[in-house]
Amino acid sequence: MTRRMLIAGNWKMHGLRSDLGFFDQLEPQAALAAAAGVDVLVCPPATLLAPVAGHCGDSAILIGAQDCHTNSSGAHTGDVSAGMVRDAGAGYVILGHSERRSDHGETSALVCAKAEAAIMAGLIPIICVGETREQREAGEAFGIVGAQLAASLPAAARMAVIAYEPVWAIGTGLTASPSDVAQMHAFIRTRLPRPAGTRILYGGSVKPGNAGELMALDDVDGALVGGASLDIGQFGAIIDAAIHGCAAQ
């Protein structure tokens, strides 16, 4: 089975309506990428989902949220449900990012419940897993990632994406070595209910300078890009690396 690549930008808590011009610059490259087998996704903050969806219309740019609640509605001040982000124009939602696991104490069981809610609402969840530096140094990386995966991924998830993001590589400029990434992605694939049909993204300081090498690895089906996704030049260069990776296969 040939998996389409996915280059996903995680804007985190960045972006205002005055940034919508970014999508005009991205559109031609997203169309080119889609034709070459590379999906381009941007996950802006919740406040920008509807403006971005309205701005992009039926362009090739896919839109995702960064979180959703487990319930479809109710007394949950400040939260948004999966149905609400779907209604705003998102097709994907990032769940269990390490910043949410640490800032908001999210457990894998909660991530799993959110993923079930997302799937019910017609969203594709991008479920994030990854070990801390201490865990890697203690030789626990595979055990931690395996346990997170088992507890975060709903058994019936037909359409999930997995993002392997070593916590120590996020926003630090450090990346896991290609051989560490290759080993972890191969390990993750053996743990998936639908191994051949599930995309596994690498995330953690993906930049134009390392994207080509990472995207060329067998079990790497794309990238989850934080900082570099805010810069159209850098994000475009990472998309280019994925397109060239696809052409080389």
Among all residues, which ones are annotated catalytic? 97, 165
Choosing from 6, 7, 10, 65, the residue that interacts with ligand PGA (CB under 6 A) is 10
Range 188-227, binding ligand PGA (CB under 6 A): 203-206, 224-227
CA distance 186 to 205: 20
The nearer residue to ligand PGA, 83 or 153, going by C-beta atoms, is: 153
Which residue, 83 or 184, is less far from ligand PGA as judged by CB? 184
Which residue's CB is nearer to ligand PGA, number 118 or number 225? Answer: 225
DSSP 102-149: HHS---HHHHHHHHHHHHHTTPEEEEEE---HHHHHTT-HHHHHHHHH
Pick the closer one to ligand PGA by CB: 141 or 169.
169
Cα–Cα distance measured from residue 90 to residue 69, given in angstroms and rounded to the nearest whole number: 14
Q: Considering the complex, what minimum distance in angstroms separates the CB of residue 43 from ligand PGA? A: 9
Residue 234 within binding range of ligand PGA, rule CB under 6 A: no
Nearer to ligand PGA, 30 or 163 (CB): 163
Tell me the two tokens of residue 92: 């994907």
The separation between the first and the last C-alpha atoms of the chain, rounded to the nearest angstrom, is 13
Taking CB under 6 A as the rule, does residue 41 contact ligand PGA?
no
- Residue spans of alpha helices (H) in 191-231: 208-215
Q: How far is the CB of 71 from ligand PGA (least distance, A)?
A: 25
Smallest gap from Cβ 223 to ligand PGA, in A, equals: 8
Shortest spacing between CB 206 and ligand PGA, in angstroms: 5
Site string for ligand PGA, 118-157 (x = CB under 6 A): ----------------------------------------
Q: Do residues 89 and 52 lie in contact, with contact meaning Cβ atoms separated by under 8 Å?
A: yes
Other C-beta atoms lying within 10 Å of the C-beta of residue 121: 18
Tell me how many degrees the CA angle 78-47-94 measures, rounded to the nearest 5. 80
Q: How far is the CB of 228 from ligand PGA (least distance, A)?
A: 6
Residue 97: which of 85, 109, 106 has the closest Cα?
A: 106
User: Regarding beta strands 124-129 and 92-95, do their DSSP bridges make them parallel or antiparallel, or are they unpaired?
Assistant: parallel
The Cα 55–Cα 65 span in angstroms is: 16
Binding mask 161-180 for ligand PGA (x = CB under 6 A): ----x----xx---------
Applying CB under 6 A, the residues found at the interface with ligand PGA are 10, 165, 170-171, 203-206, 224-228
